[in-house]
Amino acid sequence: MTAAPALADPTPSPTPSRPSVSPSPSGARAPEGATAREDDGKGVGRGAPRRPPVRMSTVGGEMLGRPGPQVQLGPGAPELPKELSGRSWLVADAESGEILAANNAHWQLPPASTLKMLFADTVLPKLPRTKTHRVDPSDLEGMGAGSSAVGVKEGSSYSVHDLWLGVFLRSGNDAVRVLASMNGGIPKTVKDMQAHAEDLQALDTHVVTPDGYDADEQVSSAYDLTLFARSGLQKADFREYCSTVSAQFPGEEKPGKPRESFGIVNTNRLLTGEGMPGGMPYKGMAGVKNGSTTNAGNTFTGVAQHDGRKLLVTVMNPEIQEQYEVYKETARLLDWGFEAAGHVKPVGMLVPPKGGAAGGKGGAGKAGGDHSQASVASSGSGGMWTAVGIAGGAVAALAAGAFVVHRRWPRPKG
C-alpha cells in the first residue's frame, strides 16, 4: 500500500461542531453582473483563499482533514491523473460511501450553483410537483445582478415541476426564488437549508443564499456537496430533474393569446456532450449539478455508472483556466475511479445523516484509513435508489437503461 504524502502535520485536530468560515480575502462581494455566470467555463474563483488550511474538519476520516491529495494505492491501482488542478475534489463510491481519493476534501470554498443541490434536497419534498403558483413581483425581488435565469415572468403561473426543471437545467435563480417564496420566503428557506445540512453532517457549509449566488461567508466543500448529491439522489423527482437533458418551459402568459413554450437544455456538459470531445456525453452520466460564479470559479458534482458500479465526483475551482476544465477533470477522475475501484484502500467515508446509523463508525472523524471499518458499509442497506426512467429523449439514456443504487450506511460495531 502506498499513500500520497501529507502536506502538513498529520495529527488530526478534533472535529468542530462547525469549522470556521473562510470568507474572501477582501471580505467584499464580487462585482455585480459577473457573480452568477453559469457554465461559461471561465470562472476564476478570485474570492477564494489560495491555499487550504493546514488542518480541516475530519468528518468522515482523519485523512480527509489533511491538505493535498489523499490516496492509498494497492496492487494494480492506477496512479491519480496528472492533469488535476481543482483546488478541492473527491471521488466516492455512491453505494458504499467509501471515498477512493480526495484533495482538500473539507476546504471551505464558495460553492456557486452546486448549492442548489442542497436547496432541492431540502425544499423538493415539501411542494407537490403538480402545485401551481402565479408569480408575484415580490417573488423575484433581491435576485442578484447577472444571475442565471430560466425566464420566469411576473404574473404568469408555473407548476412546481416546471420550476424544478428550470432550476436543474438552466440553474435558474428566478425559479429558485419562486420556489423559495412557495416555501415561506428566502430567510426561512436559508434556515431550512442550514438545518438540513447539519442533519446530513455537512458541517463545512454555511448557507447565505438559496441559489448559490456569491455572498460573504457562503461556503461549502467537496465533501459536503457530495453528501448533498447522495442525499438528493434518494428522491425520484430529484433523479428525474438532474438527469433530464432537455425540456419545454412555459412562456409568458399574455391575455387573449395561447401560451407558448420554449426549449431549455441542461448546462451539465457531461450529460449533454456539448463542448466535450466528439460532442459525446460521458458514458453512464446521470447528473447532478454544475455552477460557476466569480468567487467560486467552476464547480461540479456528477454521478455516473459503469458495469454496476456508481461513482460520485465533485470538483471545485480548477486553476487551469480552460473552457469546460471542470468537466474534463471530473471525467478524468471518473475514469480513474472506475479503474481503481477494488484496488485502493479508502481514505474516508461519506457519513450517514444524523440517526442514519446510531452509534455507527461512519460518523465523524474515524473512518479514513481503516479498511475493515470502511468496508462495513457494503453489508447494510438504507433504502434504494429506484431506476431513473427514460422518456422521449428528455432524460439521459444510461448505458444499462436504468440507474439503481443501494445506499449503504455503516452498521454499528459490536
Measuring CA to CA, which residue among 52, 50, 48 is closest to residue 24? 48
Catalytic residue among 171, 221, 243, 292: 171
d(CA 212, CA 218): 8
379 catalytically annotated: no
| DSSP three-state, residue 241 | helix
d(CA 29, CA 11): 35
Beta strands in 33-142 (DSSP E): 69-73, 86-93, 98-103, 132-134
What is the residue type of 360? G
Within 135-212, where are the H helices?
160-170, 173-182, 186-199
Beta strands in 128-217 (DSSP E): 132-134, 157-159
Catalytic residue among 113, 181, 220, 292: 113
Catalytic residue among 22, 88, 116, 221: 116
8 A C-beta contact, residue 285 and residue 306: no
17 catalytically annotated: no
d(CA 272, CA 275): 9
Is residue 388 packed enough to be buried (19+ CB in 10 Å), middle (13-18) or exposed (0-12)?
buried
What is the residue type of 398? L
113 catalytically annotated: yes
The set of cell numbers assigned to 408 is: 449503504
CA 342 to chain centre: 24
As annotated, the active-site residues are 113, 116, 171
